[in-house]
Copies of this chain bind each other. A is one copy, B any other.
Amino acid sequence: MSAYDGVVQELIDELGQLPGVGPKSAQRIAFHILSADTERVHRLATALTEVKARVRFCEICGNVSEEDQCRICRDPRRDSALLCVVEEAKDVVAIERTREFRGRYHVLGGAINPIDGVGPDDLRIRELMTRLADGEVTEVIIATDPNVEGEATATYLTRMLRPMGIVVSRLASGLPVGGDLEYADEITLGRAFEGRRSIDV
């Protein structure tokens, strides 16, 4: 249903491809753009292009970064003995907000999910093993989401890491089960860090 003239419809179509933006929202945003300040729209268009041009993934931890290595991996004050494994880069931001954790991160790029065809080989688990090889890391904190896929990933990682003599822990309960880690408030997430427990598989 191409209801609008050329470029307006193109914009609505492109906006409608974004996550959480349905056809009605896309139309509303497009009309907002039409009457918005040209300067502001240019800033949005530029931000979109710049992000694609300049942002890459940290070669060490997989976090988003404008450099080859992210600012956490470059920071010499972070504790290299403590490694926190998360699913997504946005989980790093959520944990940093608690100010509870001073170690380093490893971003898996997702969780094991057989239904969507995501297996261990699709995640950055091989890179994790390489990072752990030199023995500098003594504890791995698994901070995958407290849902089925996150738990499955935690169990899988624990089975791989235990034989290497590394202490493996999981964020404490306190996180609402079935939810998304990134939506937890700072206090809940901070307490979950403090009360992390060793995994018995």
Contacts and interface: CB of A to CB of B under 8 A. Distances in A.
A24 B88 contact: no
A64 B34 contact: yes
Interface string A23-59: 0110111111110001011111111111110110000
Contact of A20 (B7, B25, B46): B25
Interface in A54-86: 54-55, 64-66, 70-71
Given A29-B19, A38-B52, A47 B5 contact: no
A122 interface: no
A54 B30 CA distance: 14
Contacts of A183: 24
Interface residues of A, number: 54
Given A49-B45, A50-B7, A183-B24, A17 B40 contact: yes
A188 to B, nearest CB: 16
A51 B93 contact: no
A185 interface: no
Contacts of A65: 5
A201 interface: no
Interface stretch (A8-16, A130-138, A190-198): A8-16
B34 A29 contact: no
21 contacts: A1-B97, A3-B96, A4-B93, A5-B65, A5-B70, A6-B54, A7-B47, A7-B50, A8-B64, A11-B47, A14-B47, A19-B28, A19-B32, A20-B29, A27-B90, A30-B51, A31-B89, A34-B52, A41-B48, A42-B52, A44-B48
